[in-house]
Structure 1
Amino acid sequence: MELPNAALVLVVAAAAMLSVAVAYDPLDPNGNITIKWDVLSWTPDGYVATVTINNFQTYRQIMAPGWTVGWTWAKREVIWSMVGAQATEQGDCSKFKANLPHSCKRTPAVVDLLPGVPYNQQIANCCRGGVVSAYGQDPSGAVSSFQVSVGQAGTTNRTVKVPKNFTLLGPGPGYTCGPAKVVPSTVFLTADHRRKTQALMTWNVTCTYSQHLASKYPTCCVSFSSFYNDTIVPCARCACGCEHKTCARSERDSKRLMSASGKSARPVSALRGHVNRQSAAPLLQCTTHMCPVRVHWHVKLNYHDYWRAKVTVTNFNYRTNYTGWTLVAQHPNLDNITEVFSFDYKPVVSYGSINDTALFYGMKFFNDQLVEAGPYGNVQSEVLMRKDASTFTFRQGWAFPRKIYFNGDECRMPPPDSYPYLPNSAPASLVSSASVVVAVAFLVLLMA
């Protein structure tokens, strides 16, 4: 059946809006990764450019094994040489007789170099194994750069053609890149900050992330408990899907399974290379939720003017260390944080002046790495908040977060009707000593 023209237009418009909404994050509406090309000089058959990857996402980083940037050349360009990165394939360079280009691929894929490469192969902000920090966590680490010498490309602004079909891979899929757009040339300051220079030509590519494109299922889940109720609300069954054919019930099982598959027991995140993306499938601990990561929020103590929550993040993946992890929580009382113990913290203001979202991350060299599943595969902290007399209550699950994100992905929350309820006989201002009631049960949960 053919749709009327008006109905067809509505369907197309709805599909377009949906495609945009999929990549839109209301807690980080302006978050994106921008790839900027600055043409710095002309060569006999092309140009030399610096390519800069800027991560403007507040709480989503690119973790190991790092980024891969790809594109399609507009003409028959080749890469003569690179500094700070390398193409994964040389391609067919048979028509060149003397000096062979670094890559002749029409669709090159480029990866960052590892730390420790010789100094003459480095430029500023390169050689971190493709790892890029979240901007809200570490602005200085939220940038990565490399230099490329392009041949057979034209030697003027009119003859150079902008590459097409840009792609960006983090540790996996999820990013969609728009077309390259020529923008006003970048202005640079010289090392002594006394003179300005300008790129000969600049173009930008904007890439946005969609959790729905990255994974069929959520990658984390949330569980709850409280001092005023002995009920522990676990992650939903199969919260992250139950299609995994193999899981490990113990660390010994994980080593046996990896040995059987010919892989080292060392976490894949410690490796680097194009092939590792194919072997980085998680080896999960056997759980009812089958999630790589669980976040547990425990309402721990109640004081006259303050209350305290304990947050525990547990890694159930035997193949991954989450280095530079981030945790985002949304709750109306997070605008009154008094103290955060053993995590670093920054507010995330998403809706004008509303401050109901907090970014938590590990302290450098202390707990900024969430190690693979096992006895040390968890990090925890406590958050002390001052009560807002007009809104504070323990009733109807008010003390639990509205949303939780781990490493930029939204976690699966328990259904609202399952939250620990306040007993009918108990006043809203319960004393803190009641927290002892669920202490043993909480320890049991952490060991699950």
Structure 2
Amino acid sequence: MAHFRLVLDETSMGSSLQIFFLLCLLGSLSLCYGYDPLDPNGNVTIKWDIMQSNGDTYDVRVSVFNFQLFRHVEKPGWRLSWDWVNDEVIWNMWGAQATQQGNCSRFKGQRPHSCEKSPVIVDLLPGTPYNTQVANCCKGGVLSSFNQDPSKHGSMFQMNVGGATNSTSFTIAENFTLGLDGYTCGNAQSVPASQFTADGGRRWTQAISTWNVTCIYSQFRASPNPKCCVSLSAFYNNTIVPCPKCSCRCQGLSGAECLRPGEVLQMPHDPTDHPPALVRCTNHMCPIRVHWHVKQSYQAYWRVKITITNFNVIRNYSEWNLVVQHPNLRSLTEVYSFTYQPLYVHGYVNNTGMFWGIKSFNDLLLQSGESGNVQTEMLLRKEPSDFTFREGWAFPRKISFNGDDCVMPQPDDYPRLPNAAMAHDHRILNLPLSIIITLLPLINHFLELFLR
């Protein structure tokens, strides 16, 4: 291997640093801007439909769609915000509400619902009175991933807007945000006007104009610390490979508090808000640990057990999901107690699958404790072309929990086959050669007879 020596003067040092930072920037684009190769088109789309003009006011229908295959919008849900371009106000709203009315002193008599220049809108909770609802509203801002429950991936509200400079020009608002960690929204783009059914589906009606705003997620922007880790074990090795130390945080560093054995939890919080992170004290300090155990080997199949453990002492994970990359998932035969769906990336199976719980059985991952785990087993068919237990092949290449990548152990640390097993495997793979070696004395004897 060739070795190179780099000598830098001040000029070349400056240029090299520029190149270095440029490469770092390019290398982190997918991480910072949220591109996920397993969900290349995943996004949250805000659809802004101008439905009709009423002279000095106009009606708007706003929809929020989660088009991410395996990432939810969890509690406390979206908090949609934007900046009005002119002097717009929201006179009335159905299916959602503004968190602040703002300064409406310029209006006499009936006051608008909100006069905020940058209103913050929240979804109504389930069970809201019927006269304030619209279709597909009132989910508390929670949206399911598109794969897991397409019927719950969207939300909608309506509002009556006034106070614009010209109510027929319909200038779109700007600077949209979802109020969710890790999400960044782009500029509004004009798209073909949406169509809707009317009169019980007997005719179609159309919006006056429609804009789309696309928001994407970045795990790095959401949190600099990972949220899950992976541990490994196998039937052929007594070693259990734990999650890497300090996978998510380190005890005592950067305010990483944890609950020690015997300590009593005293941290009240608003049940409608996202509970703060507090985990049990571990070497990895992750809220979630995924354990992959190679359990058994049969003649034509092998069995894996997956256990997901919640170390968060105050949070349940509802409708959780797990995404796994493994070369043998294309030959998965049966899954017990989890729902499974292969992921088709760029139109083909990419040895990647999505697991989630069964409704009302194990779709709720309870907070840390005796019941704070869910588990399944799966049976995979051995493919002669690539199956082996050697070199860590039986372990996953990548695992994510609720859309966030988990920290994996180093490949060098994976449980290895014992030397005897590897030798046995080698003899099996080279069986024809061993037969030839065994027959060589007999072949040699016949050659001697023939040559006499």
Q: TM-score surpassing 0.5? A: yes
Counterparts of residues 410-429 of structure 1 (less than 5 Å): 410-426=405-421
Q: Distance in 1 between matches of 2:24 and 2:176?
A: 25
Partner residue of 2:240 out of 232, 238, 261: 232
| 3-state SS of 1:69 partner | strand
Structure 1 residue 86 displacement after superposition? 1.0
Partner of 1:160: 170
Change (3 A) 1:420 1:16: closer
Structure 1 residue 30 and structure 2 residue 25: aligned? no
Residues 390, 422 of structure 2: 8 Å contact kept: no
| 3-state SS of 1:52 partner | strand
Partner of 1:113: 124
Change (3 A) 1:108 1:254: farther
TM-score of the aligned structures, taking structure 2 as reference length: 0.86
Matched length? 411
Q: Distance in 2 between matches of 1:24 and 1:211?
A: 10
Structure 1 residue 91 displacement after superposition? 1.4
Change (3 A) 1:201 1:420: same
Cα deviation per residue 1:161-187 (whole Å; 9 max; x = unaligned)?
A: 1111111133xx100000011111001
Cα deviation per residue 1:190-219 (whole Å; 9 max; x = unaligned)?
A: 253321110011100000000000001101
Counterparts of residues 46-445 of structure 1 (less than 5 Å): 46-153=57-164, 159-170=169-180, 173-190=181-198, 192-242=200-250, 243-250=254-261, 253-255=263-265, 257-258=266-267, 263=268, 271-272=271-272, 276=273, 280-426=275-421
Q: Distance in 1 between matches of 2:312 and 2:115?
A: 39
Structure 1 residue 9 displacement after superposition? 11
Q: Distance in 1 between matches of 2:203 and 2:135?
A: 19
Q: Which amino acid aligns with 2:344?
A: V
Q: Distance in 2 between matches of 1:364 and 1:55?
A: 20
| 3-state SS of 1:144 partner | strand
Choose 329-338 or 348-357, whichever is displaced more.
Answer: 348-357
Q: Distance in 2 between matches of 1:331 and 1:155?
A: 57
Q: Which amino acid aligns with 2:140?
A: G
Choose 309-318 or 191-200, whichever is displaced more.
Answer: 191-200
Cα deviation per residue 1:92-135 (whole Å; 9 max; x = unaligned)?
A: 11222211111111111111111101011111211111110000
Change (3 A) 1:375 1:165: same
Residues 247, 283 of structure 1: 8 Å contact kept: yes
Larger radius of gyration between Structure 1 and Structure 2: 2
Q: Distance in 1 between matches of 2:346 and 2:423?
A: 30
Cα deviation per residue 1:373-415 (whole Å; 9 max; x = unaligned)?
A: 1111111111111111100110011011100010000000011
| 3-state SS of 1:100 partner | coil
Residues 31, 218 of structure 2: 8 Å contact kept: no
Change (3 A) 1:234 1:191: farther
Q: Distance in 2 between matches of 1:245 and 1:207?
A: 30
| 3-state SS of 1:206 partner | strand
Change (3 A) 1:245 1:27: closer
Q: Which amino acid aligns with 2:292?
A: W
Structure 1 residue 241 displacement after superposition? 1.3
| 3-state SS of 2:348 partner | coil
Residues 44, 155 of structure 1: 8 Å contact kept: no
Change (3 A) 1:101 1:135: same
Residues 31, 219 of structure 2: 8 Å contact kept: no
Change (3 A) 1:14 1:298: closer
* Structure 1 gaps, min length 5: 431-448
Q: Distance in 1 between matches of 2:405 and 2:347?
A: 22
Q: How well do the aligned residues superpose, as a CA RMSD in angstroms?
A: 2.5
Q: Distance in 2 between matches of 1:72 and 1:419?
A: 52
* Structure 2 gaps, min length 5: 1-9, 426-452
Q: Distance in 1 between matches of 2:79 and 2:91?
A: 19
Cα deviation per residue 1:330-369 (whole Å; 9 max; x = unaligned)?
A: 0011111111111111110114423301100111111111
Q: Distance in 2 between matches of 1:111 and 1:429?
A: 63
Structure 1 residue 150 displacement after superposition? 1.3
